[in-house]
Structure 1
């Protein structure tokens, strides 16, 4: 049986004292996802023997493109347990304990944390990060915090009394958008995507008066003074399709007819917005869409921008119109199956819900003269997702281990907060490819000196 080389064989031997520390110390890895899988692999190859890993999640198909300890046969199983089994296959001498649980469970208290010489975070949410940060401070255990977001990554060491803690600096909150921007004057694709998610709930889910999608007649920009705006809002209550009735009730009265829904959302509502002429004094006016006119477009004239995977293609107006129709029909069927008074919950991983949001958002982008987006891009923004990049996770996991070696060597003064920005070759100018290749070679040479 062939044996994989250890990390020390690849980069050179460690000092005996440090190697002995790796063999005897106990470390806790919190998270067995993108960073966690890479980190567990690095730890055992470096020489760490006593590792405990905890993760609440189970394996999903979408994890398989970057979490390389998992295979298709593992879908639905515990990430922590499968990660342990996979690592033991190429390092049977490791002593790994896996917990399929939340680190915020009271069982993992301060006494639990005191069992370790080092804690390493590989988490994807702020609440758990805050909790681990507090527990490590209370137990006086060094913590290596890490994270990635697309091509960006960071690693930082947190030690009580010597460094800032995770919560010492305020973290940015999720961006919100004014309701009148979403309903009347979207200027960015994200505005249309938020509008489409609101629309899904108004039609098929739990209605929220604060997330209405019809034109906002009280928009202060639509009138020269508040009195005019209030008068316009009152008048709109008697105005045909725009009257203040429940969006869901109106949709039900049409039998969720895709054509009527389409013409209300992308024609009638837009034509009403055009009557609010003060909105368009300094911005480009929207262009209504008509179902009948779109159906007359020859299929050969319909463009699909981009090659490759289906989710990375951008359809034309006719394509998104048909996708809108199909998704409405499917969602209507799901409501019927659930019975009277049923509601659907939007989920980025539900194909029909994602089809609806992608189609509705792109049609609205077209109405407001924006470049339309692929399903992949819409899903990333609609689910507040920054796509995970396997390479970034791998580099960050390597940096975590380097910081861990410094800690175990008692070189706290050598610990650094590391910020990483990777680049895709596709985004670089040709003349930079050679430079990057040379830098990569230098990094490999440097690793042999560590």
Structure 2
């Protein structure tokens, strides 16, 4: 609908009444933006090319704000699809959009706000885009859901020299951080918490918390019976060698379950499965007396025994009401009834898939927090196991939060943080990096809802932003690792001729003085391709800074050469690389204390429903202080690739309402 506004002052005046100009809603919005931002900033906004990574909670709010503020070209990248649990806070999505790509749906929804904006959606993994793609944008907004991708975007923006605006929320808490190479701290300038994984023996043999039972039901039992039996991503196998005998027994148990899986759809399947995991396996564990010297052994339970109980009969008669109440903590007998019912539903799906010709085993069923069949199976099996090991049971609602990685998110917090991101972007567009702020939303921490501080300076020991940057055009059909070691690292970068340096990628070490097996292999044989970053670490007594090499596929023929140098951070007068030495580490100052232990730790947050479960799942009431990076130097990078860890943003003086170690953020 067109809106009438007073004509500009220089318009011809009418003696009868003021002249009015009819303006479309888009023109009216543009006029308002001009008046609010000013002519110069409004022009910068219109000329900007923006990349938005992530279209979840914060991403939806950001996209809406960017469109309404007059940005004329926005690219959206997101690999995820829409879940039912997203709908309460990701307002661009509706029920009919479930299972559709977030990026595409968000583009279509936001396009209706302003048809003049060029919105480009990429339903893709952000890690597939190269430095040239990032370099084509004026500013990048991060609204991601995992650490690996966030680190990738951070590294790409540093390599491309493009400013990055990071953000995160956790309930009522939020944070916005501007990242600019050489000016502010980057995402990797501070250490990040490692996501919690559990030793396989703890999950399979000695659970002590309900989360151990949940992981067992979700990542082991459900997968062995109805899904991919090789999926043990939630298990930590690092100590397998120390428990070789127990691991061997556990492998036998898995093989026995595979045999039971062949009985899916037969009348006795539920009893076979129950007796195997809750009777036979626990009898074996009880026989290992050394394991129970300091803890209570589990109590095996037979299927026939529990089904004969009066309480089980009562639960069966109330099954409909039982399944409807998600807040109720089921008794052991009620859990058995729900387990039987969920097994029947899952078996029906497998048999139906077989009938449709989907292989002899039927469809591979994966856990989904919105799939009531798999959720009931995990809740019931976890609660039964918890009971037998003397662990307190939980309701379906509580277990869904832990197993489904759902952390309550607040849409208002997302909207506030998205607005703060755009406000900081105005300073970035003007080049006013001396006035950007690291902003914290912490309404319960101080008298003010918002707190801000000047951005942290780059950490001189950061393995990413303090590194010497090099970009190479590479012919991946020719180049070998030896070309990089002997010709580039030793000859051009002047690293130690004796080989006292390490070359690694995100997976692990490719070369060091004791690891030379890969020297004559082509990089393509080592799964190294376009867009890969390699890190060269000097192991000499007076080491150079780390060198980060960005490898990109050559667009033109390099002739006989396997690579060509595209860019290099600094050069000597003779054209060789001018790499500084590592800064000397100052001795760590003695802690200032009055004898009372300081329990304050940085409050960590992650993105979009990614739940990191700590060992201590009790609520924590200790206030956490903001993480200050730079007061304590980060340890020198070891000769291994960086461990993967959950994304971390620090929040000022927040309280963790979920766990004692981590607070999750919505995306």
Aligned partner of residue 128 in structure 1, secondary structure: helix
Determine which of 333, 346, 349 is the counterpart of 1:331: 346
Does the 8 Å contact 1:286/1:369 carry over to 2? yes
Q: TM-score, normalised by structure 2?
A: 0.52
What's the offset of the Cα at 1:334?
A: 3.3
Choose from 17, 38, 46 the match for 1:23: 46
Contact 2:223 2:231 in 1 (8 A): no
Shift of 1:192: 0.4
Deviations 1:231-270 (A, max 9, x none): x999x89xxxx97852221454694521342233224433
Match of 1:296 in 2: 310
| Paired position in structure 1 for 2:258 | 248
Separation (CA, whole Å) in 2 of partners of 1:439 and 1:40: 27
Asked if 1:258 corresponds to 2:282, the answer is: no
User: Cα–Cα, structure 1 residues 14 and 303, in superposed 2: closer, same or farther, change >3 Å?
Assistant: farther
Q: 1:275 to 1:56 in 2, by over 3 A?
A: closer
Q: CA 1:160–1:189 in structure 2 vs 1: closer, same or farther (change >3 Å)?
A: same
Q: CA distance change for structure 1 residues 103 and 141 in 2, over 3 Å: closer, same or farther? A: farther
Contact 1:206-1:343 at 8 Å conserved across structures: no
Could you report, residue by residue, the CA deviation over 1:344-385 in whole angstroms, capped at 9, with x for unpaired residues?
342324432222112111111222233322334333433455
How far residue 412 of structure 1 moved from its aligned partner, in angstroms, is 1.3
Specify whether residues 72 and 180 from structure 1 end up closer, same or farther in structure 2 by C-alpha distance, changes over 3 A only. Answer: closer
Structure 2 residue 187 is matched with structure 1 residue 166: yes
Paired position in structure 1 for 2:566? none
Question: Kindly tell me: are residues 328 and 159 of structure 1, through their superposed partners in 2, closer, same or farther at Cα, counting changes over 3 Å?
Answer: same
2:63 to 25, 30, 40: 40
Structure with larger Rg: 2
Note the 1:332-411 alignment, pairs <5 A: 332-337=347-352, 338=354, 339-342=359-362, 344-348=364-368, 349-411=370-432
SS of residue paired to 2:136? coil
Q: Secondary structure of the residue that 1:413 maps to in structure 2?
A: coil
Q: 414-423 vs 113-122, which deviates more?
A: 414-423
Aligned residues of 1:30 and 1:103 also touching (Cα < 8 A): no
Please state which structure has a larger fraction of its residues in helix: 1
**Alignment correspondent of 1:431:** none
Change (3 A) 1:403 1:379: same
**Rounded Cα–Cα distance in structure 2 between residues aligned with 1:352 and 1:168:** 43
Aligned residue for 1:414, secondary structure, equals coil
Structure-2 separation of matches of 1:109 and 1:300: 57
Does residue 412 of the first structure (1) align with residue 433 of the second (2)?
A: yes
Q: What aligned pairs does 1:216-227 form with structure 2 within 5 A after superposition?
A: none
Asked if 1:64 is matched to 2:92, the reply is no
| Superposed CA offset, 1:77-129 (max 9, x none) | 4433432333343344x4132223325476x5444333322111122233432
Q: Counterparts of 1:336 and 1:268 in 2: how far apart (Å)?
A: 27
Are 1:86 and 2:109 matched, yes or no?
Answer: yes
Distance 2:89 2:232 in 1: 38
Q: Is the 8 A contact 1:18 1:409 kept in 2?
A: yes
Residue 143 of structure 1, CA deviation = 0.7
CA offsets 1:378-416 (integer angstroms, 9 cap, x no match): 334334554544233223212212221221233312323
| Shift in Å, 1:144 | 0.7
**C-alpha offsets along residues 319-338 of structure 1, whole Å, 9 cap, x if unaligned?**
22111111222333333342
Structure 1 partner of 2:210:
189
Q: CA deviation at 1:200?
A: 1.9
CA distance in 2, matches of 1:161, 1:309: 56
TM-score by length of 1: 0.75
Residues 316 and 161 of structure 1, relative CA distance in 2, 3 Å threshold: same
Q: In structure 2, do the counterparts of structure 1 residues 151 and 23 end up closer, same or farther at CA, with 3 Å as the change threshold? A: same
